[in-house]
Structure 1
Amino acid sequence: MSTYKVPAFLAELLHARSPSGYEAEAQAVFDRHVKPAADAYANDALGNRIATLNPKGDPVLMLAGHMDELGLIITFINKEGFIYFDTIGGHDLSVISGRRIIIQTANGPVKGVTGKRAIHLMDDEDRKKVPKKHEIWIDIGVRSKAEALERVAIGDVATYDHELELISGSIGTARAFDNKVGAYIVGETLIRLAKEKKPFAAKVVSVATSQEEIGVRGATTSAYLVNPHIAVAIDVGHATDHPDCDNRRFGETKLGGGPILCRGANINPKIYDRLLRAAKKIKIPYQIEADPRPTGTDARAIQMGRGGVATGLVSIPLRYMHTPSEVVDLEDVERCVQLLVEFAKSLEKGDYAHW
C-alpha cells in the first residue's frame, strides 16, 4: 500500500464532479482552499474562479488551469426507463460501456451503469465495431420512463464512478486528472506565493477556468477580463513511455520526468526561456515538447486575448488521457507548483516579454 500523502486540496478537486458547464462541485473546492489566500476573489458568468494576489503589481501574470472534465448529458429516456445520452468532451467510445456512473440531479446523486448488447448476442461483424453513442445506454434499475423521471431529468449530467487511488508510491489513477491537476497547481501556486516574505513584482491572477473540454471557453472570457501581460496555462500532456506509442510521431515524455515545457507557435519564446531558467534554478527535472500549431489547451485562447498575451504552457505527463483511469505521478504535480512559484517571483516590473 502506498504511503504517499495526497494534498487535501488536490484530493477534493479529484473527487469533485464537474463536467463542462456543470462545474459547481469543483468551484466549491477552489473557493474553500484558494479564496482565503487571495487579496481579491471573483467569479463570472461562465463560472470561472479568479483569484488575485498583489493587485497593484506589474506585470500582470495569469495562471490558468481548467477545472471541468468529461461527462455524459442525458438527452432521452425510453418507455422502459433506459437513459440515452450525448458526450461532453472528447470521449473514446470504446471505453464508455460497462462503467459505473454517477448522475448529478436536483435531488442528489443517482447511480447507474452504462450498458450495451452483450458480446454473446453479437455476430462476428458486430464484434469488430466500436458502438455508436445511440447504441449505449444508462441503466438506473427502473422499469419505466415515469419511474426514471422521478429520479433524473433531461440535461442532468453523469461522470464515471472512478475515484483517486494510489497504485505505486506517488503514482496515482483517477478519472479526471485532466485537468484537476492544473486547477490545483494554479490555486496552490497562489497559496504559496501568499506566504512569501520577500516582495515580488508581479500581480498574480490564478484562474480555474471552465468549459475547456468543449472549446477553451472559460479561458477566452477570463483572459479578456484579467487582461494579463504574461500567462501560463497548465494542463496535462501525453506521457509517451508506454507500449504502442511511436516516439517518432508523438515525441518522448515520461511519467515522473518532471513538468513538460512546450515550444512552438502558441508559445512566447521569452516565456519559454524563463520557465526553463526557473526549472534549472530550482533543480527540478523537466521535459520539452514541440507543437507547431495552436495547442489543444487554454493557451491557444489566452495567447490571442485582446492585443495578444505572452503565453507559456506547462503540462503534467499523463497516461491514458480521456479514459476513466488516467495515470499521473503526483511528484510531477508538486514540481510544477515549485516551478510556477519560482517563475512568478522572477518576473520584473515593466517586462512584458515582447519580442
Structure 2
Amino acid sequence: MESAPLEFFKRLLDTPSPSGYEEPVQNLVRDYLKPFADSVETDLHGNVIGAKNTSAPLRVMYAGHCDQIGMLVSQIDEMGFIYAQTIGGWDPQQLIGQRMVIWTSTGPVPAVIARKPIHLLTDEERKTVVQTKDLWLDIGAKDQAEAKELIRIGDPVTLKLGMEEMRNGLANAPKMDNTTGLWVAIEALRRADKLNCALYGVSTVQEEIGLRGAKTSAHGINPQVGIGIDVFHATDCPTMDKRQLGEISLGKGPVIFRGPNFNPKVVDLLVEAAESYKIPYQLAALGKPAANDSNALQMSQAGCAAGCVSIPNRYMHSAVEVISLEDLDNSATLLARFAEMIDADQDFRP
C-alpha cells in the first residue's frame, strides 16, 4: 500500500466518529477527496460524496459508513462519576476495564470505565452478566462540580483510539468497523480510471443506528448500482461457526456476498473483476437482508442493483478489531477495476 493512503487510514482510525458525531472524520474525508474527485459535496445529513465522471447516465455508488459505535453521557453523579448510554450495538463485557475518551467541546477528556473489583463481587454478581447501566466512567474528578466544568450531558464517548500493527501484515484498532469500508470506498474512487459510468464514493453517516446515511445519500444520488462496503466476521479463530458463516480468513482477500440482497449480475461482475486481475477473494452466503449499507441501497427509490464487499475482521465491536492490511488494499483495487469494467449501457436487471 502506498504511504499516503496508509497515512490517511491511520488518521481516520485516530479520529472519533460515533454515530451523530462524525464531523471530524468527514472533514478528513473531504480534504482527501479534493485532489482527485471531480466534485465533493456534503448533504444535509452529513454524508460526504466524492464523484468522478458525473455526466455519465449510469451511476454507481460505493458506500462505506464512517461512524463507529460509542457512548453518550447521560448523567453526572454527585461524586463526579459519569454514566452513559450506548450508541450502537455493544457487548457490555467488552467495556469493562477499558480506557475511554469523552469528546467535549473543549477537547478530549481521558476516562476509564469499570466496576467494582472481583474481590468484592458477591457469588451472585460473579455469575451475572454486567449491564451497561451498572458501569461508570471515571475522569478523576473530585466531585460533580469539577466534572461538570468539563463534561456536558450528550457528550460522545469512544474507546481510546489508535492502530497497532501486528505480525504477518495484520493490524488492530477500535473502529476498524467501519474505517476499513470507508477507506475502501474513497480509495477505490481514487484508483478508478477510464470510467464509462459515474462513480460516487460516499462516506455515509449513522449506519450503526439504522443504515440512515445510506438511505439519504442514495436518495440524492439515485444509483443504478450500489455496493455497500463493510467488515465481516473472520472465522479463522476459535469458537466461530464456519457452518453458517463460511470459511473466511484474514489475508485471503475481500469477501463477496451472494444471496437475495445482492444482484446476481453485480456479483458475477465482481467475481469476474477479481479473477481477471488476479485479486484474491472469498465468497460468503447471506440468506437475509444485510445488516449494513447494502440493505438500504437495494431498497432506495425504485430499487438498485446492490452488492456487498467486506473486509474480514476478527473481534468485531471490540477494542481490538483485527484486519489484514493486504485485504484492505485488495478490496480497493477490486472495486476500482469493477467500476472500470462497467459499460455505459450495461443492464443490471436480473
Write the deviation string for residues 100-157 of structure 1: whole angstroms up to 9, x where unpaired.
1111101011011002111111111211212111210000001211111100100001
Query: Which residue does 1:12 correspond to in 2?
Result: 11
Change (3 A) 1:352 1:150: farther
Query: Which residue does 1:263 correspond to in 2?
Result: 258
Query: Which residue does 1:276 correspond to in 2?
Result: 271
2:191–2:333 CA contact under 8 A, matched in 1? no
Query: Which residue does 2:54 correspond to in 1?
Result: 55
Supply the distance in 1 between the matched residues of 2:272 and 2:137 (Cα, whole angstroms).
50
Query: Which residue does 1:202 correspond to in 2?
Result: 197
1:352, distance to aligned residue in structure 2 (A)? 3.6
1:276, distance to aligned residue in structure 2 (A)? 0.4
> Number of residue pairs matched?
349
The answer on 1:237 being equivalent to 2:236 is no
Structural RMSD (CA): 1.3
Of 200, 209, 217, the match for 1:214: 209
> Could you list the runs of 5+ residues in structure 1 that have no partner in the other structure?
none
- What is the DSSP-based 3-state SS (H/G/I as helix, E as strand, rest coil) of the residue aligned with 2:290? coil
Query: Which residue does 1:301 correspond to in 2?
Result: 296
Query: Which residue does 1:119 correspond to in 2?
Result: 118
Matches within 5 A, 1:1-355: 7-193=6-192, 196=193, 199-355=194-350
For residue 10 of structure 1, what is the amino acid of its counterpart? F
Write the deviation string for residues 19-68 of structure 1: whole angstroms up to 9, x where unpaired.
00000121011011112211111111221101111011131000000000
Write the deviation string for residues 300-328 of structure 1: whole angstroms up to 9, x where unpaired.
00100000000100000000000011000
Normalising by structure 1, report the TM-score: 0.96
1:200, distance to aligned residue in structure 2 (A)? 2.2
For residue 18 of structure 2, what is the amino acid of its counterpart? P
> Could you list the runs of 5+ residues in structure 2 that have no partner in the other structure?
none
1:18–1:68 CA contact under 8 A, matched in 2? yes
Change (3 A) 1:309 1:4: closer
1:84–1:138 CA contact under 8 A, matched in 2? yes
- What is the DSSP-based 3-state SS (H/G/I as helix, E as strand, rest coil) of the residue aligned with 2:187? helix
1:4, distance to aligned residue in structure 2 (A)? 10
Supply the distance in 1 between the matched residues of 2:295 and 2:147 (Cα, whole angstroms).
41
1:17, distance to aligned residue in structure 2 (A)? 0.6
For residue 291 of structure 1, what is the amino acid of its counterpart? L
1:236–1:315 CA contact under 8 A, matched in 2? yes
- Name segments (4+ residues, structure 1) moved above 4 Å: 3-6
1:169, distance to aligned residue in structure 2 (A)? 3.5
Change (3 A) 1:93 1:4: farther
